[in-house]
Chains A and B, each alone.
Chain A
């Protein structure tokens, strides 16, 4: 038949993939509840890893990309790359905010040293005195900073 092109995925293959997906779901619940002690930081990579394996099983067998036209796989692959670009480039901003906000001519190290000096310095008793009139008090506090 000319329609041999449409690969019929065997019943056994689909069933095995389904059983595998259920097994991986149980595995992801178990690993999430285990205490790895000092290795607890592995929880996220393990959870994402299992989810990626499950996704590959669904995409390759249930969605049939393994037997399909290459162009569909290319579409999916390029789309996935853009998801990674989206997440990684956003994190370059949000995860390092503050660290890269320095637009002064002096370096971050210089500023930290300066802050330490300011903290160690004995405050001028005059500057700590509360001025007469409660409303004026915040202004005095602000003036001490500069």
Chain B
């Protein structure tokens, strides 16, 4: 900060000499460019939080209206698969935080491998999710009108409003899963750019912002896991 103030006076002549290639002309310094990008990302994350909060509101309203349905229907979700996915996402959040840590220390080789692990974790998450969805679709557990449970899920047909619970489940986890897929695309793109040598400890904005996005996806799952998977296994005879 102090350096910025000191150089402002002779900025035009002086700064152009040290103009780093990534610095765009409408910013005073790399610092300001980085901070602006980050604030913009936080504003975007707030819109994401509000998008998901609409679904959390639907969840809350239906759970307040039909608490027994939520407890009974939730018991048909496999908490072990949900728990596994929670650990996978937490680990990927850790590795993406480490990728930024290493970028700040100019260890871009490690940044690359941390991003590879993050991408792999996202892949594992989607594969587990595919198995969960597949098992439900095979036995007629669909969102909305098509809901017609058979086999293992047959008892759901006798639970009033079980269809609403599963519609909420599919929409919330589905839109979350879509965010995981988008994240995978972003990490793949970052891997190419890291390999190409685009980033260094002075300029790693893209990795920082992708990390923020990925942590938000993790936070949404931190709430989805107990609220969807764990409410049917507590005491009280369920």
Contact = CB atoms under 8 A, between A and B. Distances in A.
Interface stretch (B9-17, B48-56, B189-197): B48-56
Interface stretch (A17-25, A115-123, A134-142): A17-25
Q: Bin the interface of chain A by size.
A: 35 or more
A6 B225 CA distance: 33
Interface string B194-235: 000000011000000001100100110011011100110111
B234 A35 contact: yes
Interface residues of B, number: 54
A128 interface: no
Contacts, number: 145
B42 to A, nearest CB: 4
B97 interface: yes
A9 interface: yes
A58 B93 contact: yes
A122 to B, nearest CB: 35
Given A54-B222, A79-B50, A90-B61, A32 B230 contact: yes
13 contacts: A14-B97, A22-B87, A25-B86, A28-B226, A47-B226, A51-B223, A55-B222, A58-B222, A75-B42, A75-B46, A79-B45, A90-B61, A91-B61
Interface of A: 2-3, 5-6, 8-9, 11, 14-15, 17-18, 21-22, 25, 28-29, 32-37, 40, 43-44, 47-48, 50-51, 54-55, 58-59, 61-63, 68-69, 71-72, 75-76, 78-80, 82-83, 86-87, 90-91, 94-95
